[in-house]
A and B are shown apart, each in its own frame.
Chain A
Amino acid sequence: MDMTEAIVFAGSAIGAGLAMIAGIGPGIGEGYAVGKACEAIARQPEASGAVTRTMFVGCAVAESTGIYGLIIALLLMFLKPFT
Chain B
Amino acid sequence: MAIPKFLTGSEELSVSGPKIITSFQIGGVTINFTETIVLEWLVMAVILFTAWFLTRNMKVKGISKRQVLAEWAVEALTNLVRDTMGKRWLKFTPYIATVFSFSIFGSLLSLTGLRAVTSDFSVLVSWAFITFVLITATKIRFGGVGGYLKGFLDPVPVMLPLNILSEVATPTALALRHFGNIAGGGVIMALIYYGLTGASHALGLDIPILTVGIPAVFSLYFDLFSDFMQAFIFCMLTMVFISNAGPAEDET
Interface residue ranges, A against B (CB under 8 Å): 53, 56-57, 60-61, 63-64, 67-68, 70-71, 74, 77-79
A contact residues around B237 at 8 Å (CB): 57, 60-61
Bound: A68/B179 CA distance, A? 10
Closest B residue to A50 using CB positions: B83
B contact residues around A70 at 8 Å (CB): 180, 184
A contact residues around B14 at 8 Å (CB): 78
Complex A-B: 5 CB contacts under 8 Å: A57-B233, A57-B236, A60-B237, A71-B183, A78-B187
Interface residue ranges, B against A (CB under 8 Å): 14-16, 173, 176-177, 179-181, 183-184, 187, 229-230, 232-233, 236-237, 240
Measured between C-beta atoms, what is the minimum distance from A24 to chain B in Å?
A: 17
B contact residues around A67 at 8 Å (CB): 176-177, 180-181, 184
> Given B16, B173, B184, which contacts A64 in the complex, CB threshold below 8 Å?
B173
Closest A residue to B234 using CB positions: A60
Measured between C-beta atoms, what is the minimum distance from B83 to chain A in Å?
A: 8
A interface majority secondary structure: helix
A contact residues around B16 at 8 Å (CB): 78-79
Q: Please state if B229 and A74 are interface contacts (CB–CB under 8 Å).
A: no
Given contacts A67-B176, A70-B184, contact A56 B229 (CB under 8 A): yes
Given contacts A57-B237, A71-B184, contact A78 B177 (CB under 8 A): no
B contact residues around A57 at 8 Å (CB): 233, 236-237, 240
Measured between C-beta atoms, what is the minimum distance from B194 to chain A in Å?
A: 12
Closest B residue to A69 using CB positions: B180
B contact residues around A74 at 8 Å (CB): 15, 183-184, 187
Bound: A60/B16 CA distance, A? 26
